């Protein structure tokens, strides 16, 4: 995927899936605001991508997702909620994450 295509998809779609080979480009194009190791599903990051606030995360199956959020505050709240869920998963709660739920973080 080219940079221009990535930016257009992020502007028009709430959640996009990236190929593993596209992650370095995303990270090069953006400023990392926060990055946390989930210890369950790779890293979760808040990124500023040309003025768009996005969260990049990896599913437990290894799929790389980018989710556009309305603000940095919304992204921080989303990340905190996700990390709390992963903590409960680590403790064996049987929780599952609905990675494609567009209502999360809104």
Per-residue pLDDT tens digits for 28-82: 999 999 999 998 889 999 999 989 999 999 988 889 999 999 999 999 999 999 9
Report how many domains make up the chain. 1
Calpha distance 7→26 (Å, rounded): 9
Calpha distance 22→9 (Å, rounded): 13
What's 28's domain CATH number? Answer: 3.30.160
Note whether residue 86 is domain-resident.
yes
Note whether residue 11 is domain-resident.
yes
Residue 86 has pLDDT above 70, yes or no: yes
Over range 5-27, report the average pLDDT: 91
- Among 20, 33, 22, which residue's Cα sits nearest to residue 10? 22
Calpha distance 71→61 (Å, rounded): 27
Note whether residue 46 is domain-resident.
yes
- Among 29, 21, 30, which residue's Cα sits nearest to residue 3? 29
| Containing structural domain, residue 19 | 3-90
Note whether residue 102 is domain-resident.
no
Over range 94-101, report the average pLDDT: 79
Calpha distance 22→11 (Å, rounded): 17
């Amino acid at each position: 995927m080219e940079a221009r295509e990535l930016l257009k998809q992020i502007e028009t779609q709430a959640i996009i899936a990236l190929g593993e080979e596209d992650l370095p480009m995303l990270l090069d194009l953006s400023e990392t605001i926060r990055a946390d190791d989930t210890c369950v599903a790779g890293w979760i990051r808040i990124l500023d991508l040309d003025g768009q606030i996005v969260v990049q995360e990896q599913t437990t199956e290894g799929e790389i997702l980018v989710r556009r959020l309305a603000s940095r505050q919304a992204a921080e709240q989303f990340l905190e909620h996700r990390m709390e869920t992963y903590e409960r998963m680590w403790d064996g709660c049987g929780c599952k994450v609905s990675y494609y739920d567009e209502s999360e973080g809104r």
